[in-house]
């Protein structure tokens, strides 16, 4: 028992540290549940329309790949929760990757676990405390999501089953991250492993849902659909989540016992004894530091984009009925169906690539807090170069990822090369503006970069909830992503492109004015 | 010769906290200057101001006659800095970091003494930054600083993580650099290290300079501890400059100011001295004296 001493204070401490982040995430996720539940009936007032909409979704392999199929086309709940059952469950699992990693490997890498371990805290306590905290959060968000659906007017059993599926996905993500955090001594590598595992599970389900159904059963995201929450729930599926999560946490515990504090199971390899001659200034340093993660991002994005580009042509072939066509148009906008889907994917990717840019800006802040920036600035490196280095990688890296996405989609789609590349690049100013705002927060003070994530969450929530809640246009317009035209469906719009770019420049100028005159550290 | 570092009346506040409160510091060319103070006295804040990382609220600071806030890059070309707590890039090896820091100072790693220093400090350059212990992280920064020939070395508690053997290597390196004419600002709270290396010392406390001078000058300000065995009792009571007098049979112990020494000696000689020891104050005692908040009752 003594190896578990201290779990309670550690778990409480974790909750205390996370309280703002947890409140914002919960509010956003549960808010989306409520709004989607409440709004769908007014969107499709008659049962016939609901059935048509559901059939339209099932007829499109690309949408099934993205969201999963609708098993019962007569269920209003299942239609209302289309996006939430699988795709938003992926977003939900990101929360648990952040939570568990933050209280295990990040603490270990920073040496705080050692400090805490020197007190009356057992060896297993930090991992157990992180798992307990995250599991309670998963159950809590699941319960609130179910209640939100219920409040939005959906049936009781379905709402609770849906909420349980979110809780289940949360628990599995906790287990996956707990294992990932035992593997490498680097918190960044652990995050990449956990995120990669979530991505693979999502793709497995996409493959299963569009080809062999049994493959979907290999992924917890497939279980969320197969639970059939809205018509005769298979309650036993919930056991699968719990068992998988328990096994993963058990494995993590065993792995933890087999390794020393601060080390990982993947042995650290020695690196080069000499620095490359090109590694000689702040920009080269920033590129070198972020190159491995950018390479992983590029491969993942290229793979995803080619797959989705290849699936896209399926829509047009399968959708010949007018109602279905009308439905798809209503789902995504106007114009050619395939292109609507490509535009939707690009707008999702724009948000995802903003995460990359925010990570880079966040590193600028932590480099400064840890004292690395101080060492760089003590050499013949100017402040402007140090500041620019982070921005070059943040803005340049996200632009590069957009290029990879555009080219990947075009290769998979097999046509419209220029149009798709252009559509991808048109997203850049929105991504840049959010990254620039994060840089402004960083310029304000080194610990400010978290503001970028808060803003991104806010813009995302606005984008998802704004229209459903009937918020005024100017509130919706606060999110830069709403101003990007849905290319290639809509034509390129020079005005928002120019305005967003100019705003980015303005925000960056402000950031620099502040950064050059403030204390470093 | 001009001072390499010239600081006067430096004030820096963080919110309500006054980290530097009129600090003065002069370091002349070619000397090893010990910069002493307890934790939180403002040593690192002073150094970070000298590097142009902090914007000071009042006072003047120059390095090589230039303002560190405005001419940071020009100044930094001529110096090397080792922070008190070295943070490395987790995915860069020690060797890459040494080369990076050298190149960013405009030096060519291949033409430097990098290889020799890696050997002397027994540092494995192929390990990733996250895998180094505190002492080894410090060695990475020390190798980068000592490998080239900067005019000024700013070392902030540079040996706090080193074992005694490596401290010896560090002392040799400092001696080599001063031999070629480099100036060294050495902040520390390890007194023996400063006593061994420093030509002059500045002691600070709560952001103010308490003492400054050569070790000899500082000793002049302090009392020697005298122990004498006498043939006959001497009349020492009330002699100017003599304190803490204790007479036990024929053994006399007391402490004496520099000014009181001649008077004491003649009184002792008059009584007939069989044995006499005089101990100069160690820096330890100077240091404790400088930090004693209350003045010593005499």
Q: Three-class SS string for A175-195?
A: HHHHHHHHHCCCHHHHHHHHH
Structure tokens belonging to residue B89: 């890039």
For residue A286, the chain B residue with the least C-alpha distance is B89
C-alpha gyration radius of chain A: 23
| Partner-chain contact B76 A378, CB within 8 Å | yes
B42 neighbors B20 (Cβ within 8 angstroms): yes
Interchain pair B126, A520: CB under 8 A: no
The minimum CA-CA distance between B25 and chain A, rounded to whole Å, is: 20
- Among A105, A106, A109, A271, the strongest candidate for a mutation testing the B interface, having the largest count of B CBs within 10 A, is A271
Tell me whether B96 touches chain A (CB under 8 Å). yes
Distance from CA of A275 to the nearest CA of B (A): 4
Q: What are the b/e assignments for A320-345, b being 16+ CB within 10 Å?
A: eeeebeebbbebbeeeebbbbbbbbb
The Cα of B193 is separated from the nearest Cα of chain A by a number of Å equal to 24
Quick one: pLDDT at residue B89? 93
- Show the tokens assigned to A64: 């099934």
Q: What is the pLDDT of residue A4?
A: 82
Write out pLDDT tens, residues A480-495: 999 998 888 788 999 9
CB nearest A520 (choices: B53, B73, B88): B53
Report the pLDDT value the prediction gives residue A56, as an integer from 0 to 100.
82
Q: Is the Cβ pair A382, B83 closer than 8 Å?
A: no
Q: What is the pLDDT of residue A3?
A: 79
Q: What is the mean pLDDT of chain B?
A: 88
Task: Collect all residues of chain B within an 8 Å Cβ-Cβ radius of residue A188.
Answer: 90-91
From the list A185, A272, A518, which residue is nearest B130 (CB)? A185
Name the more confident of B245 and A137.
A137
Query: What's the CA gap between A457 and A480, in Å, rounded?
Result: 12
Q: Which residues of A touch B (CB under 8 A)?
A: 109, 185-186, 188, 268, 270-277, 279-282, 285, 288-289, 292, 370-372, 374-383, 517-521
Mutation for B interface: A108, A190, A375, A384, most B CBs within 10 A: A375
- Shortest Cα distance, chain B CAs vs residue A297, angstroms: 17
- Chain B CB contacts of A268 under 8 Å are 127-128, 130-131
Q: How far apart are CA A180 and CA A98, in angstroms?
A: 12
Domains of chain B: 3-218 (3.40.50.300), 223-280 (3.30.70)
Compute the C-alpha angle B269/B274/B280, nearest 5°.
75
Q: Are A175 and A196 in contact (CB under 8 A)?
A: no
Determine contact, residues B93/A273, Cβ cutoff 8 Å: yes
> Do the Cβ atoms of B32 and B179 come closer than 8 Å?
no
Out of B79, B100, B128, the one facing A285 most closely (by C-beta) is B100
Q: Which of A275, A518, A521 sits opposite B100 (nearest CB)?
A: A275
Domain ranges of chain A: 1-264, 280-521
Chain A nearest-CA distance from B50, in A, is 10
Between the alpha carbon of residue A37 and those of residues A40, A308, A332, B264, the distances in Å are 6, 28, 18, 97
Q: Do B101 and A268 touch (CB under 8 A)?
A: no
Q: Is the pLDDT assigned to residue B276 strictly greater than 50? A: yes
Cα distance between residue A66 and residue A209, in whole Å: 10
**Identity of the residue in B85, B95, B124 whose CB atom sits nearest the CB atom of A272:** B95
In angstroms, the separation between the Cα of residue B7 and the nearest Cα of chain A is 18
Chain B residues within 8 A of A288 when measuring between CB atoms: 92
- Say what the alpha-carbon torsion angle A58, A61, A66, A67 is, to the nearest 10 degrees: 10
Least Cα separation, residue A186 to chain B (angstroms):
8
B98 at A interface, C-beta within 8 A? yes
Q: Could you tell me which of A361, A272, A189 has the C-alpha nearest to residue B97?
A: A272
Which three-class secondary structure state does DSSP give residue A306? helix
Burial label, B183 (beta-carbon count in 10 A; 0-12, 13-18, 19+)? buried
Compare CB distances from A371 to B85, B106, B126 and report the shortest one's residue: B85
Give the closest-approach CA distance of B75 to chain A in angstroms.
8
Whole-angstrom distance, CA of residue B189 vs CA of residue A62: 67
Flag whether pLDDT at B82 surpasses 70: yes
Please tell me which of the candidates A378, A518, A521 has its beta carbon nearest to residue B81.
Answer: A378
Q: What is the pLDDT of residue A336?
A: 61
Is there a cis peptide before residue A488, judged by omega within 30 degrees of 0?
yes
Quick one: which H or E segment has residue A161?
A: helix A156-183
- Answer yes or no: do A375 and B101 touch at CB < 8 A: yes
Mean pLDDT over each residue of chain A, to the nearest integer: 89
Q: Give how far A119 is from chain B: nearest CA, Å.
A: 21
Interface membership of B277 toward A (CB under 8 Å): no
Kindly state the tokens that stand for A400.
Answer: 């590069």
- Pull the structure tokens for residue A328: 């798809």
B291 vs B40: which has the higher pLDDT? B40
Q: Does B126 sit within 8 Å of A275, measured CB to CB?
A: no
- How many CB atoms neighbour CB A189 within 10 A? 21
Q: CB distance B55–A378 less than 8 Å?
A: no
Residue labelled with tokens 């889907």: A341
Instruction: Assess B220–A contact: CB distance below 8 Å, yes or no.
Output: no
B70 touches chain A (CB under 8 A): no
- B254 Cβ neighbours under 8 A, 6+ residues apart: B226, B236, B242, B243, B244, B245, B246, B264
| Model pLDDT, residue A333 | 44
Cα–Cα distance measured from residue A160 to residue A165, given in angstroms and rounded to the nearest whole number: 9
From the list A275, A289, A378, which residue is nearest B95 (CB)?
A: A275
What was the pLDDT predicted at B220? 62
Stronger pLDDT, B40 or A329, i.e. the higher one: B40
B273: pLDDT strictly greater than 50: yes
Which of B183, B151, B152, B157 lies closest to B170 in space, CA to CA? B157
The Cα A16–Cα B75 span in angstroms is 45
Q: Are B6 and B26 in contact (CB under 8 A)?
A: yes
For every residue of A417-443, DSSP letters joined together read HHHHHHHHHTTHHHHHHHHHHHHHHHH
Residue B294 predicted with pLDDT over 70: no
Helix axes A125-151, A87-103, angle to 10 degrees: 150
Query: What does chain B come to in residues?
Result: 298
pLDDT value of position B296: 42
Q: What's the pLDDT tens digit per position in B103-154?
A: 999 999 999 999 999 999 999 999 998 889 889 999 999 999 999 999 999 9
Q: Do A379 and B53 touch (CB under 8 A)?
A: no
Asked if B87 reaches chain A (Cβ–Cβ under 8 Å), the answer is yes
Nearest to A289 among B91, B93, B141 (CB): B91
Per-residue pLDDT of chain A (521 residues; tens, 9 = 90+): 477 888 899 999 999 999 999 999 999 999 999 989 988 888 888 888 889 888 888 877 777 888 899 999 999 999 999 989 999 999 999 999 999 999 999 998 887 888 887 887 888 899 999 999 999 999 999 999 999 999 999 999 999 999 999 999 999 999 999 999 999 888 888 988 899 899 889 988 988 888 778 889 999 999 999 999 999 899 999 999 999 999 999 999 999 988 888 788 777 788 899 989 999 999 999 999 999 889 989 998 998 888 878 877 665 554 555 665 666 566 544 346 677 778 888 988 999 999 999 999 999 999 999 999 999 999 999 999 999 999 999 999 999 999 999 999 999 888 778 889 999 999 999 999 999 999 999 999 999 999 999 999 889 888 877 777 778 888 888 999 999 988 887 889 999 999 999 999 999 999 999 999 999 98
> Any CB–CB contact under 8 A between B219 and chain A?
no
> Which residues are CB-contacts of B9 (< 8 A; sequence separation ≥ 6)?
B22, B23, B24, B58, B59, B60
């Amino acid at each position: 028992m003594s190896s578990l001493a201290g779990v309670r204070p550690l778990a409480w401490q974790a909750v205390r540290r996370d309280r703002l982040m947890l409140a914002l995430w919960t509010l956003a996720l549960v808010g989306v549940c409520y709004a989607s539940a409440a709004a769908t009936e007014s969107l499709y007032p008659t049962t016939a329309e609901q059935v048509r909409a559901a059939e339209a979704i099932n007829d499109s392999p690309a949408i099934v790949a993205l969201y999963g199929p609708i098993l019962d086309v007569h269920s209003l709940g299942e239609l209302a929760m289309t996006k939430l059952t699988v795709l938003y469950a992926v977003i939900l699992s990101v929360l648990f990757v952040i939570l568990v990693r933050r209280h295990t490997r990040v603490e270990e890498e920073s040496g705080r676990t050692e400090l805490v371990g020197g007190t009356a805290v057992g060896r297993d306590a930090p991992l157990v405390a992180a798992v307990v905290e995250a599991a309670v959060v998963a159950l809590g968000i699941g319960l609130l999501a179910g209640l939100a659906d219920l409040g939005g007017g959906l049936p009781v059993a379905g709402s609770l089953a849906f909420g349980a599926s979110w809780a289940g996905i949360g628990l599995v993500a906790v287990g996956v991250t707990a294992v990932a955090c035992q593997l490498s001594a680097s918190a960044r590598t652990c995050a990449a492993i956990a995120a990669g595992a979530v991505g693979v599970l999502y793709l497995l389900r996409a493959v299963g849902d569009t080809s062999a159904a049994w493959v979907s059963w290999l992924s917890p995201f497939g279980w969320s659909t197969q639970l059939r929450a809205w018509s005769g729930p298979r309650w036993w599926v919930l056991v699968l989540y719990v068992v998988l999560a328990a096994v993963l946490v058990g494995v993590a515990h065993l792995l933890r016992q087999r390794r020393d504090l601060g080390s990982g199971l993947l042995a650290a390899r020695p690196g080069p004894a000499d620095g490359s001659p090109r590694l000689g200034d702040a920009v080269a340093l920033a590129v070198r530091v972020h190159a491995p993660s950018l390479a992983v991002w590029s491969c993942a994005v290229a793979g995803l984009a080619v797959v989705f580009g290849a699936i896209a042509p399926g829509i047009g072939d399968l959708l010949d009925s007018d109602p279905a066509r009308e439905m798809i148009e209503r789902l995504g906008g106007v114009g050619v169906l395939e292109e609507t889907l490509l535009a939707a994917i690009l707008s999702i990717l724009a948000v995802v690539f903003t995460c990359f840019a925010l990570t880079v800006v966040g590193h600028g802040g932590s480099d400064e807090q840890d004292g690395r920036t101080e060492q760089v600035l003590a050499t013949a490196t100017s402040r402007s170069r140090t500041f620019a280095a982070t921005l070059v990688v943040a803005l340049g890296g996200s632009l590069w990822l957009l290029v990879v996405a555009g080219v990947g989609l075009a290769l998979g789609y097999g046509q419209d090369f220029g149009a798709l590349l252009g559509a991808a690049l048109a997203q850049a100013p929105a991504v840049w503006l959010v990254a620039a705002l994060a840089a402004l927060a960083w310029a304000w003070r080194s610990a400010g970069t978290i503001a970028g994530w808060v803003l991104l969450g806010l813009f995302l929530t606005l984008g998802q909830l704004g229209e459903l809640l009937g918020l005024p246009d100017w509130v919706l317009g606060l999110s830069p992503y709403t101003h990007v035209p849905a290319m290639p469906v809509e034509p390129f719009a020079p005005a928002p492109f120019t305005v967003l770019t100019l705003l980015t420049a303005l925000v960056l100028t402000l950031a620099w004015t502040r950064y050059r005159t403030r204390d470093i550290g | 010769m001009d001072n390499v570092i010239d600081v006067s009346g430096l004030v820096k506040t963080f919110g309500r906290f006054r980290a530097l409160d009129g600090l003065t510091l002069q370091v002349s060319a070619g000397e090893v200057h010990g910069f002493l103070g307890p934790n939180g006295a403002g040593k690192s804040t002073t150094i970070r101001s000298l590097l142009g990382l902090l914007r000071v609220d009042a006072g003047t600071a120059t390095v090589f006659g230039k303002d560190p806030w405005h001419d940071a890059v020009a100044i930094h070309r001529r110096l090397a800095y080792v922070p008190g707590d070295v943070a490395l890039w987790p995915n860069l090896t020690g060797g890459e970091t040494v080369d990076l820091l050298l190149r960013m100072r405009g030096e060519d790693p291949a033409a430097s003494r990098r290889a020799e220093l890696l050997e002397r400090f027994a540092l494995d350059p192929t390990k990733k930054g996250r895998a180094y212990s505190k002492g080894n992280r410090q060695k990475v920064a020390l190798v980068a600083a000592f490998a080239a020939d900067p005019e000024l070395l700013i070392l902030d508690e540079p040996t706090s993580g080193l074992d005694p053997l490596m401290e010896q290597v560090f002392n040799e390196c400092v001696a080599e650099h001063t031999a070629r004419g480099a100036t060294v600002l050495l902040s520390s709270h390890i007194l023996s290290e400063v006593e061994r290396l420093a030509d002059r010392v500045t002691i600070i406390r709560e952001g103010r300079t308490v003492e400054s001078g050569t070790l000899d000058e500082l000793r002049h300000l302090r009392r020697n501890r005298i122990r004498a065995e006498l043939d006959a009792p001497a009349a020492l009571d009330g002699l100017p400059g003599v304190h803490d007098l204790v007479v036990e049979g024929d053994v006399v112990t007391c402490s004496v100011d520099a000014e009181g020494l001649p008077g004491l000696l003649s009184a002792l000689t008059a009584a007939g001295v069989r044995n006499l020891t005089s101990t100069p104050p160690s820096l330890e005692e100077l240091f404790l004296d400088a930090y004693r908040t209350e003045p010593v009752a005499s």
